[in-house]
A and B are shown apart, each in its own frame.
Chain A
Amino acid sequence: MSEPRIVVIDNHGQFTHLEGRALRDVGVDTEILDNDTDPADIDADGLVLSGGPSMDRVGRCADYLDLDVPVFGICLGLQFIAEELGGRVESGDYGGYADVDVRIRDGEDPLVGSLAPETRTWASHADEVVEAPEGFAVTADSDVCGVEAMSDTDRDLYGVQWHPEVSHTERGQEVFENFVSICE
């Protein structure tokens, strides 16, 4: 199979363009689209839902979960997937900013398993997932956040709370490579 084409959905995040850059650096065909794009116009083998400032500004993200391609939510993208599918998101006691050491709980997970046992990430969030939706396994956690990553490998839905696209996250590029493998 040829290289997959992965579309980044922009939820108005500061780092959305870095997600495009990370995928470009992996070497796949990629494009950044606004989150009000008609799902029928999206031609992709996988989707990244970017971070962003507010759950009120996720546009048509709910429709994109029905496109039947692997989805990778980052930060707000993760929180959106959790809330949309029946999990719970709340304001955390302790915002995660800059360095966060994340423990990988499932070394077999296709998205973050290769980072086990621990990885140094860079984060920027006040809210967090406090309950993953049914069907999801919590694949990583940290001292400041109970759900740093979650996966539903049956539906190919994934998310991380940190920002793998920023240069200060160690091995962030590897997470994108893993997602590309999932989409192949």
Chain B
Amino acid sequence: MVNVEEFIDEATTEIREAVGDANAIIALSGGVDSSVAAALAYRAIGDQLTPVYVDTGLMRKGETDQIRETFAFMDSLEVVEAQGRFLDALAGVTDPEEKRHVIGEQFIREFEREARETNAEYLVQGTIYPDRIESEGNIKSHHNVGGLPDVVDFEGIVEPVRDLYKDEVREVARALDLEAVISERMPFPGPGLAVRIIGEVTEEKLAVARDANHVVEEEVAEHDPWQAFAAVIGKATGVKGDNRVHGWVVSVRSVESRDGMTARAQNLPWETLQRIQSRITGENDDVARVVYDVTHKPPATIEYE
């Protein structure tokens, strides 16, 4: 385990040296990685920093409001309402890698605009070690690594937690006094709910994914998973109130892990699974069935795309 106090000192110094007197913006997603990167950068360069949170429309229920609240202490926090632009960019895109690429590019475009407005020359990102490994191994490209367009206006990119594992980032978060809502938060992918929707991202599927993720997080909280979520994976037949439904199939996944490199599908009680099933099909007219993913990693990855 990394020495947390030493790490914070070193990372803060590194950010200060890299950015100098210039301005920087931080891609704040609300996840523990970017929150720690943001807190470190804020500590290092204070007002020179603009934390930018982009509401992509791919966020979880209530997420944007929660971000506003948690990071209210950073005066320069910018919340960008980009929901429409992301959905437009994603229209018709079905290939998983293309999806990540489109989102990555749109992210960067949003950031570039904010950077110009704040005269920021540096971009800070919360990339962690496993992100880099998975990108290098071509398993999946991560939006904060693989999706970067060739032409970036920034002078440089600073990734202060690039050598840490998730469990180590959490240690740092606790040492930085970030609220438990951040430090103990489940991992959430950069491309958001888009990678929990197989095929094209539409408003209809997003609404299902958002509600189903909320249900899963609530219902499994007491089982303390490393990560738990729902994905919209296709369509199938159902019958609701004597009517045939050709509705969405929602896959529920709940895993135990230390570092995300390997994961075990959680042995959830049948009652919990049934309650999840009942709520998701009951609250969403167009969901025909709910399935539970029992696959470990390997051979599956944790997320679907």
Contacts and interface: CB of A to CB of B under 8 A. Distances in A.
B42 interface: no
Contact of A15 (B139, B261, B296): B261
Interface size class of B (residues with CB under 8 A): 10 to 19
B296 A97 contact: yes
Interface in A1-26: 12, 14-15, 17-18, 21, 25
B133 A14 contact: yes
Contact of B258 (A12, A53, A124, A167): A167
A163 B139 CA distance: 18
B1 A98 contact: no
A98 B257 contact: no
Interface of B: 1, 129, 133-134, 136-137, 139, 165, 257-259, 261-264, 296-299
Interface string A82-104: 00000000000001011100000
A97 B129 contact: no
15 contacts: A14-B137, A14-B261, A17-B133, A18-B259, A21-B165, A25-B1, A97-B298, A98-B262, A98-B298, A124-B298, A124-B299, A163-B262, A166-B261, A166-B262, A168-B258
The 7 closest A-B pairs by CB, nearest first: A98-B296, A167-B258, A124-B298, A97-B299, A166-B262, A168-B262, A97-B298
A122 interface: yes
Contacts of A14: 133-134, 137, 139, 261
Give the interface size class of chain A: 10 to 19
B11 to A, nearest CB: 18
Given A12-B136, A17-B129, 10 more contacts: A14-B133, A14-B134, A14-B137, A15-B261, A17-B133, A18-B261, A21-B165, A53-B137, A95-B299, A97-B299
